[in-house]
Structure formats: structure tokens, C-alpha cells
A and B are shown apart, each in its own frame.
Chain A
Amino acid sequence: MALLDICNLSVEFATAHGALKAVDGVDLKLDEGEIVAIVGESGSGKSVAMLALMGLLPWTAKVTADRMLFDGQDLLTMSAKQRRKIIGKDISMIFQEPMTSLNPCFSVGHQISEVLAQHFGGSRRSHKARTIELLQQVGIPAAEARLKAYPHQLSGGMCQRVMIAMMIACQPKLLIADEPTTALDVTIQAQILELLVELQQANGMALVLITHDMAVVAETADRVVVQYAGQQVEQRAVKDLFENPRHPYTQALLRALPEHSQGELLNAIPGVVPGQLDRPVGCLFNPRCEHVQEHCRQTPPTRNEDILCHYPLPLAGQKL
């Protein structure tokens, strides 16, 4: 049985201009010990989908799904109290800005032991040894001395390590990392990604990596989900996707990378991601797609072999 099984997840926000569909029919299946990356531009609903899973969205959001199972338990029907026992313990999440996700008023030792006290009981003090062990595990030097440090005394990379220590404190089965390295320098980014993969392998966690950086995906993930304007447009094994993208958006995204350019100019995708009020009829990508046909402008495509396109690009060695 899959660890996580989401089917047809949609999230709608009530706004002054009517309902905004931030996530539109996302499917995600995840096995234990698997790394899945969710890629997309801003506004593609990648973070919102995961926040919906965590139950962290504000009351204006309307979450609907055919199925949302975690480890055999139905997250849709369970009470808030029951869900609270799973969230933070079996599923935990790392956010983009390490500096703002930690509480500036408490020492990092306090904040980590708080997680342990919440889920395992006992006093914060009784968890001191485990806290030190966790800090060592994420590679913080002089861990014992750092227990009393406040977030402002640590660098961005160190803060992200503290966040990771906090999230793996309960040995979660699923870790969701929302752009964990976007705010960090490249050398620190490499360290953090390596740490995440190491921990993932050591603990057998499943890891969902939300990112917009294709290069990070290529180096870490097993499987990739590409999202565009709230819809899931392609879902494939990472090697297949990079070698032979089937959805025109994925292809265009890969071509836009500077290292894939031929000549001086880059292969930019014309236009912008549609907003709430200018969503096109038919396929949402049709105004920017270079393979667009009349049919695409009329009818929204349905998902076929995990590709949301009327005319998916052919497999290598195969002609249309």
C-alpha cells in the first residue's frame, strides 16, 4: 500500500473576484523511502497542495478530494484533533525561509524539545539528550553549546539545519520540504540537499521536494510532478522526464534553462502564467504552447498516462 495516496485534490479560495482555483485535480501517490519533486512556477499551486495535505490552509480555502489517505488513514474525514496527532509527527514540513519559520524569542534547544514534549510527553528538560543528538545528526558543530543559541545568532544555513532537526525529531514517515534551499547560497544549498538525502536514506522517509529549480530536481529526485497554473501536467520518473519530456510545457521549461541554449539568446517561453481573471478556454497552456492546435483552444484536455495534453510529444524513436 502506498504511504500517501491523494486523488483529485482541489483547493479553492473564496476571493472578492469569485472562487480562485489554486489547485485543480492533483493526484499523488508516494511509497515509503521515495523522493518525489514537485516543480512549477510561482502560482502553480505546488505549495498550496501540500499545505492542504497538512491542513494548514486558512478557513477561506475549500479543500476537496476523492481520496486523501496517509498510511491507510483517511485525512479527509478525521477530526482536527486526530489529524493534529499525525501532523508534525508522521508528516512534517520544512519551509522556505529558515529565518522566519523559527521563533525569534526562544532558543533553538527550547524549540526542538518542544516538539518532542508535544508528541512524546514528558518535560522539555527530559528531552535534552535527544535534542543534542538531533543537532549532531544534522551536522551542527558544538551542538551542546548551540542549545542556548537564538535564531538570530545563527546563519541561514544553520537555521535550516535546526529546522530539519526539529522536523525529523519524531522520525516522520513523510517529510515535505517546501523550497528548502531557495534562500541559501549554492555551497550551503549543496550541503543541505545532501543532508536531506542522507537522512531520507537513513530513516527510510519519503520526501516531497517542492522546488522551481530543475537542476535540483535532476540531482535529487526519483520521480517528478510538473504543475502549471494549479494543474498537474506531467508525472514521470526523473530520468525519462529530462531525456524525453512529453508535455510541451515541460519541454519548454527544460529548454529555457541557460545550459540548454543554442546561440546567444535563450529559448524563452512567451507570455506569462494565466492569473485568476484571464484563464484561457481549453488547455490552460494553449496561449504559450508552440505545438498548439485548434482543438486545444476549445476543449480542456484530460489526463492520459499521467500527461495532461491532447497531443503529447512522442516518445524518443517514435513518430507522431
Chain B
Amino acid sequence: MNQPLIKARDLHKYYPVKSGFLQADKSLQALSGASFDLYAGQTLAVVGESGCGKSTLARLLTLIENPTAGQLTLDGIDVSMAADSATKKQLRQTVQMVFQDPFGSLNPRQKIGDILQEPLIINTNMTAEQRKQEVLTMMARVGLRDEHFHRYPHMFSGGQRQRIAIARALILKPKIVVLDEPVSALDVSIQAQVLNLLIELQQEMGLAYVFISHDLSVVQHIADQVLVMYLGKPVEQGASEAVFSNPQHPYTQALLSATPQANTERKRQRIKLIGELPSPLNPPTGCTFHPRCQHATAQCKTITPEMEPRGDVSVACLLVK
């Protein structure tokens, strides 16, 4: 197989947090040790509760921030080596992002045509006529009509705005698109339309998607690979079918059992997760999941588990054999 579009090896991101006058800064481990390969035309879903490092990972992949440690290779170029601005600029064109809130991510003072032309003005030498043509083609592709060119964002519904955001991300013909909860703000019927559009665009343009979501039924439908994270650490990773049909890590099992299903027949035995996510400033010792895990042993409090291959998936748990 050809080389992966994204090659992440042991990515870490720490943020310094001021702890007070004359006191040493603490470091917040927003992301520790994410590794994966993503090929063209594939979708990697990143799953977890809020505060698990999903969005930090997105910020690293889109070059908004640099990783504290680890190696990130995008489209064959090592990001830490790409110090000169020309390479960075070119790299940024290959990675684009669609945000969660379609009401917050579009400038209310710009017309749709201007919003979509802006990336072209900054990154290409096209003439005004070429740009307009390009924008109109892209608008038609995502299901917007020509007359929408001169309208403002407030005149559109949530689903249409998300289409605009997708068009903006795709106008520079990127190879990788990071989708941060792209459908969680939309209604069910519109959600299905936008997901279908994303699937069609992926097949047509051979895009690699990093799909960040907490909705497991959506993830199960769209993902090829799944990365489950807890408190900044990956806990389970593997092919989508393997993770969903046979979850290994106790956290993945709990997450799956907590997800409600549109099925009135099945009254399931739910795995109850007690308590809430601990503070990442002061993570538990050993396995970070042990205070909420029903299988936790004395060992789990002291030894930090590493990601190890278990059959089809990789799992970070001492108890999974």
C-alpha cells in the first residue's frame, strides 16, 4: 500500500498552567501518546468524553499548535522539520478543518461568496473570474444554489451553514479533512443529509477524514478505524468493526453500553460508570481509568498500562489478556 497521509507517532501535548505567584507552573497533559496511520480515502474516528484530548489532537493535526513531543508526518513531510514558511503554507493547504458549531464558525459580516473565496485569495494566484467559477462549482457540489453566492450566513439554516463550512474546507482541494463534531449541532433528518454528503465527497475526492465525535452510532456508520481516548490517553484503537463488535477496554465497553439505542425490545444491563472525568491537572496514578473502573485491582493503581496489540485491536489495560 502507498504511504499514509497522516503518520502520527507518540504525539504529546502539554500546556503550562499558572498555579500562583512564586510557584512553579504545572503542566496539563492534554494529549499523551497518540499514534496512528491514516491512508487516503479512510476515516479515523476519535471518540471520548469532553476533556479527553480529542480537540487537542485536532489542533495538532491542523498545525494550529505544535506537539510537545512525538513525530507527526503529513503527506510525507515531517511537520517539525518543515520550519520554512513556504513548506508550512503548502502543508496547511493539505489539511483543512470543519468545526462543530456552524453558527459560530462563519463570519456574519461576510457574504457566502466572500467566505468561500478567501482561501483562494490567500493561497492561489487565480483571477477574480477564475475564483468565482471555482466557488460556484464547489457550491453546486455541496448542494448550494448559485443565488446563495450573495447571501449572508444568517439567511441559512444550520444544515446549509454546515454545507458552507464543508465547501470552505474543500475549496483548496485538501487531502486531509479534520471534522470536529460536524453533525452534533444538527437535527436528525439534516444530520443524515450532511453525513451522506461527507461520504460522497470522500469517495469522489479520496479524502482522509479525522472524524471527532461522541455519537457512537454515527461513528459506527462512518469510521474505518476508531481511536478511543480517556483523559488524554488512547485506551483502545483498531478497525471499527472489531472495536464495536468486541470492545476490550472496560472504558470502551462502558461507553458503548451507555449509548442509548433506538430499540424498545432490548432492556440492557448497563455498565454503570460511577463519578466523572477526573481533572487532567491531577490525573490518578497508574491507569487513569481505575477510579471509575469496575474491574480495577490493586495493580491498576500503581502500574500505568501501555498500548499493546490484543488480537485485532490495541488496548491499554492490564487486565485484558
Which A residues fall within an 8 A CB radius of B?
41-42, 155, 157-158, 185-191, 193-194, 212-219, 238-239, 242-243, 252-254, 256-261, 264-270, 272-273
B270 touches which of A185, A190, A216, A259 (Cβ 8 Å): A190
Which B residues fall within an 8 A CB radius of A?
49-50, 157-160, 187-193, 195-196, 199-200, 214, 216-218, 220-222, 254-255, 258-264, 270, 272-273, 276-277
**Most A Cβ at <10 Å: residue of B159, B191, B264:** B264
Query: Do the beta carbons of A41 and B189 come within 8 Å of each other?
Result: yes
A268 touches which of B193, B259, B260 (Cβ 8 Å): B193
Q: List 23 A-B contacts (CB under 8 A).
A: A41-B187, A157-B276, A187-B258, A190-B258, A190-B260, A190-B273, A191-B272, A191-B273, A194-B272, A215-B262, A218-B262, A218-B264, A253-B188, A254-B262, A257-B217, A258-B220, A258-B221, A259-B217, A259-B261, A259-B262, A264-B199, A266-B192, A266-B195
CA of A259 to CA of B221 in the docked complex: distance in angstroms? 7
Give the distance to chain B from A270, nearest Cβ to Cβ, in Å: 8
Closest to A182 in B: B184
Query: Do the beta carbons of A185 and B217 come within 8 Å of each other?
Result: no
Give the distance to chain B from A29, nearest Cβ to Cβ, in Å: 21
CA of A261 to CA of B277 in the docked complex: distance in angstroms? 33
Given A155-B276, A186-B255, A188-B276, also A215-B217 (CB < 8 A): yes
Give the distance to chain B from A196, nearest Cβ to Cβ, in Å: 13
Neighbouring B residues of A268 by C-beta, 8 Å: 189, 192-193, 195-196
Neighbouring A residues of B254 by C-beta, 8 Å: 187
Give the distance to chain B from A226, nearest Cβ to Cβ, in Å: 12
Neighbouring B residues of A194 by C-beta, 8 Å: 270, 272
Given A257-B188, A258-B195, A268-B192, also A185-B214 (CB < 8 A): yes
Give the distance to chain A from B181, nearest Cβ to Cβ, in Å: 12
Given A185-B214, A187-B49, A268-B196, also A218-B188 (CB < 8 A): no
B264 touches which of A42, A186, A238 (Cβ 8 Å): A238
Closest to A252 in B: B189
B49 touches which of A185, A217, A252, A272 (Cβ 8 Å): A185
Query: Do the beta carbons of A219 and B261 come within 8 Å of each other?
Result: yes
B189 touches which of A213, A260, A269 (Cβ 8 Å): A269
Neighbouring A residues of B196 by C-beta, 8 Å: 265-266, 268
Query: Do the beta carbons of B262 and A242 come within 8 Å of each other?
Result: yes
